[in-house]
Structure 1
C-alpha cells in the first residue's frame, strides 16, 4: 500500500548538538535528563523508579543513545529485541523552534534566521502596534512584552476582562502570541484578530514564523485555564515539501493530526483531524492509520511533551507522558504492514531540567520501522531533511532539494 506514519514527539531531543553553545544550550539533553531524573528518584514515573519505555527501546532508542554517547541509558533494558533502525540528526536550520524543525523534516531547511521580537519590554514596535489596532478595530493591547504565557495571563487577567483588550506577548521564538478570554473576548474574534496580525506582519515584511492564538477561560485569577482551542497562523512555506510531492506526483493523501495543519499553513495537507491532548492524539492517530489508503502519510504532532511538560519544566509529567505514549505505541507498531514505514522523531529539544523555559538546541532521534527491514544503525545525519528524502524515495517520488535518503533507492532496504 505504501504508507508512511510520522509520530513526532514535540521537543524530544536526545542531547545537545555541535552548535548548541551558540544557543546557550551546551549540556542540554531532554531525554537523557528525564531518564536520569527517574533513575535517581527525582521524577515520578510508573515503574519502580526506572523509565519504562520498552517499545521505544525496541525501535532502537536505547541503542541509538549508546551510539551517540557510548553509554547505554540507565534503567533501560539493553537486551530488548530491537526491531527498528535508528539514526540521530542535527538541524541545519538557523533556529530551534517548532516551525523550523517541521519544515526541515519535510525538506525545507530555514537558512535565513526568523525575525524575533526580543525586547523584554515593548516587544512589538509602536508603529506595528498602531497598525494592528487600526486594522483590527480594537481599543488597544495589553502586555507587549517577553513573557511566559501562564504568567502574563495572570498579570493582565482583570484588566483584560474589564477592557476587553487582547494580551500580546513574545518569547525567544519567532512568534507573536495573543491571549484572550474565550467567552469574554470571543474565540472567533481571537482567530480573526490573529489572522489580521498575520497579514500585517507579512505585508510589512516581518519574517515571523507564527502568530499563535491562545484562548483561556476562568472567572478569576485562581482558576484561569488555557483551552485546547489554540490555533497557529504560520507563514506559508517558501518551497515545495515532500507532502505536496506525494499529492502531486502520486495523487496521494496526507492526514494531519493535531497542530500539523496549522504548522504548515495547510500546505500539503488533504485532511485534518482535530485532536487535543496525548490520549486523544494517540486515539485519533490509530484511527487514521486504519482508514489510510495507498500512497498516504499520517503525520501527528504530540505537542504535550513541549507545551505542557518541556516549557513548564515538568520532569515527572514528561516521564509519565513518555510511558503512556510508549504503552499505546505498541498498538501502532502492530498495524504496520510490509508496505508501511513508521517514523518516530522530534523537531527540537525542550529539556525540562534546563534553565529558563525555552527550547533547547539538540539532536533528534530518527526511529524507522517496517517489518521487511532489518534493524540497523543508520548513523549521524547532518540534516533533518534526510527524513523528507527518505519519504520521497519510499514513495518513488522525485528527489527533494535537500537531504539524503536512509533507504537504498533500488531495493528499498536500509
Structure 2
C-alpha cells in the first residue's frame, strides 16, 4: 500500500462554485465558500490556505499560496441531483444515474395513508418546510393530538418530527423504520429522518418573550443502502477498518462500516476524528462528516455562522495535521454546496474541493475531476482494493504516487 491509513473529512455542503449545469437546478452563481467570504468581508482560514484552498476558490481572505502543503483540485458531481446521499455515495465510487424522488407538493395519498395505517396515527404537515419553522407552526397541535409532523424539503427526504415527551425516541425511530419499509421503488427517498424536539422554551425576541420548540441532538437517519458496492465494502472485505464518524454510517445504511462513532456536531466530529487518528492504529479508513455547515447554517442562510464555522474548523486542523504519521493521508472534501448568501435555503449544485495531504510532500494541482468518484478510485488503488467500477484514480499525479509508482 502507498499508505496505511486515510482520513476523509467531509465538510458537508462546503461547495466552491457552480457546476456548468447549475442553471438546471436554479443555482446559477452559487459559490458557498467564495460568496460567504465576500459576504462577511473576508475569511480567516490560514490552514486551509496552506493546504491549497485558495487555489480553488477566490474571495477575501482566500490566498493561493506559492507552495501548498496539499495537492488540490475540484471535483464535479456526475450524478444528477445535489443531495447528501448522492454526493457521499459518488465519493465512494457509486454514482447514481437518476435523481432520487422529491416531493415539492408533499407525499401522495398512497404513501401517507399506508404510513398512517401502519403507525395507527394521523399525521400533520405533509409539505415541504424548514424543520425549525414547522415545529413552531404545528408543535402545539402535535403535543395536543400526538400526531407526528411529516415534512420534506428540496432533498429526497421523508422527515418525522415529534416531541420527545409525546412520542418517545424509540417509538419515533420505529415510525421511521416503518416509513423506510414503505418508501421503496418509485418512492425510494434517500433518507427517512427522525427529528425529535422539546419545549416550549421562553426565548427573547424583537417583540418580547415568545415560547419556542427546539430540536434535540437525537436525530437519526434511515437511509437506502447503496445499489452497488462502494469503497467501504471493498475495504471491509479486505479486512481493513472503516471508522464512520458522525452521520456517515447512516448515509451508507451501515454497510461497509466496522466502527460507528456518534458525533452530533462539528466540534465533536473533529474531536472524535482526532482521537481515532491517535488511537486506531490498524490500517484502514477514518471517514467523518462535519454536519453543521449544512444543517445549522447553510439551510438557514446564516452567513455569519457559516463563516465562523469555516474558521473554527481551520483553527482545529493543525491538531489533526500534527497527529498524522508518515503513512497517513488526510483528505478534505465536500458532498454538494449550500450557499447561505442566495435566496434559496436548499442545497446548491457546485464543485467540491479535494485537498490531499501527505506528510512530507508538497502539493500539486489535480485539476478538475469529472466525478466525485475519482476520490474513491484513488483510495481504492492506494489501499490495494481497486479498481472500482467508477472513477479515475489520480494516484499517479500525486507526488508520493509518482515516487512509489502508480502500481502499489
- Show CA shifts across 1:62-93 (max 9, x none): 1222xxxxxx5322344475111001011011
The offset of 1:410, in angstroms, is: 7.2
Indicate the residue corresponding to 1:73 in structure 2: 59
Q: Does 1:60 align with 2:46?
A: no
Do the aligned partners of 2:223 and 2:250 also contact (CA within 8 Å) in 1?
yes
Deviation digits for residues 346-380 of structure 1, max 9, x if unmatched?
Answer: 00000000112100000000000002433100111
Unaligned runs of 5+ in 1: 40-49, 66-71
Q: How far did 1:149 drift?
A: 0.9
In 2, Cα distance between the equivalents of 1:133 and 1:294? Answer: 47
In structure 2, the residue matched to 1:137 is 120
- Tell me, yes or no, if structure 1 residue 125 matches structure 2 residue 108: yes
State the partner residue of 2:328.
340
Q: TM-score, normalised by structure 2?
A: 0.93
SS class of match (1:224): strand
Residues 353 and 410 (structure 1), Cα distance of their counterparts in 2 relative to 1, 3 Å cut: closer
Alignment coverage as a number of residue pairs: 392
RMSD: 1.6
Q: 1:380/1:73 Cα in 2 relative to 1: closer, same or farther (>3 Å)?
A: same
Cα separation, 2, equivalents of 1:326 and 1:355: 27
Shift of 1:223: 3.0
Question: Given the superposition, is the C-alpha separation of residues 79 and 113 from structure 1 closer, same or farther in structure 2, using an over 3 Å criterion?
Answer: closer
Pair 1:274 & 2:262 matched:
yes
For residue 305 of structure 2, what is the aligned residue in structure 1?
317
Write the distance in 1 (CA, Å) between the matches of 2:64 and 2:370. 27
Query: Does the CA-based 8 Å contact 1:85-1:367 persist in structure 2?
Result: yes
Q: Please tell me whether residue 401 in structure 1 is matched to residue 403 in structure 2.
A: no
Shift, 1:338, TM fit: 1.8
The aligned residue for residue 34 of structure 2 is 32
Q: Which residue of 1 aligns with 2:211?
A: 222
Structure 2 residue 81 is the aligned partner of structure 1 residue 95: yes
Unaligned runs of 5+ in 2: 202-209
In the other structure, the counterpart of 2:131 is 149
Give the aligned partner of residue 42 of structure 1.
Answer: none
Q: Is the 8 A contact 2:16 2:56 kept in 1?
A: no
Cα distance in 2 between the residues matched to 1:24 and 1:104: 22
Contact residue 373 and residue 413 of structure 1 kept, 8 A: no
Equivalent residue for 1:213? Answer: 194
Distance in 2 (alpha carbons) for counterparts of 1:337 and 1:312? 38
The whole-number CA distance in structure 1 between the counterparts of 2:391 and 2:367 is 14
Q: Is the 8 A contact 2:102 2:155 kept in 1?
A: yes
Match of 2:277 in 1: 289
Contact residue 115 and residue 206 of structure 1 kept, 8 A: yes
User: What is the rounded CA distance, in whole Å, between the counterparts of 2:186 and 2:252 in structure 1?
Assistant: 19
Paired residue for 1:69? none
Give the TM-score normalised by structure 1.
0.92
